[in-house]
Amino acid sequence: LAPAGDLNSFLAAVAAGADAVYLGLKHFSARMQANNFSITDLAAMGELARKKDVKLYVALNSMLKPGDLSAAGRLMDRLQKSVSPDALIVQDLACVELARQVGFDGELHVSTLANVSNPEALKLFPSLGVSRVVLPRELNVDEIRMMQEACPPDLDLEVFVHGALCF
């Protein structure tokens, strides 16, 4: 799984044999200062990813304010229709239900920014339709191990291995 902050990073990840690439949009992305992508950009990238058997994960990993729900829903609907990403990475748990309401049929991953750091919390996610939780970067190896030991069998865990920044 490789991050892609621009088209060259995406193409490099695909060429290097990444199984999956994650990236952000111009809206509802935690990395608003990055050169994030438009849905039009992602549609072409999604076609290439499918041809190369690379999964495409789209991060909608910012907090939703009370007035943001309908705009986020419209964006998810456009994503589903134009790009059909394999997964959405969300921070705000309202996005989990919202994605299903708009007909998103891919996987739902909970972002590292949601700070799921207690093993007991992991039990909740399969019932919500979440298939993966990205653990907070602040956890040490022993804490990650405790999370893994408590993880339900129908939930995957993901851990950043390169530090606190996405390159």
State the DSSP string of the chain.
-EE-SSHHHHHHHHHTT-SEEEEEBSSS-S-TTS-PBPHHHHHHHHHHHHHTT-EEEEEE-SPPPGGGHHHHHHHHHHHHHHT--SEEEESSTHHHHHHHHTT--SEEEE-GGG----GGGGGGHHHHT--EEE--TT--HHHHHHHHHH--TT-EEE---S-SS--
Residue bearing the bigger pLDDT, 164 or 139:
139
Average pLDDT estimate for 82-102: 92
Q: CA 52 to CA 44: how far, in whole Å? A: 13
Average pLDDT estimate for 54-59: 94
Confidence (pTM): 0.89
Give residue 138's pLDDT. 87
pLDDT at 26 over 70: no
Provide the residue type at 58 as one letter: V
pLDDT at 53 over 90: yes
Residues 147/125, Cβ–Cβ less than 8 Å:
no
In this prediction, residue 35 has a pLDDT band, given cuts at 50, 70 and 90, of low
Average pLDDT estimate for 2-29: 86
Give residue 125's pLDDT. 97
In this prediction, residue 144 has a pLDDT band, given cuts at 50, 70 and 90, of very high
User: Which of 39, 52, 134 is closest to 82 using CA atoms?
Assistant: 39
In this prediction, residue 141 has a pLDDT band, given cuts at 50, 70 and 90, of very high
Give residue 167's pLDDT. 45
Average pLDDT estimate for 81-106: 92
Q: Computed from CA positions of residues 121, 102, 63, 139, in that sequence, does the dihedral angle turn out positive or negative?
A: positive
Give residue 4's pLDDT. 84
Give residue 2's pLDDT. 87
Q: What size, in residues, is the chain?
A: 167
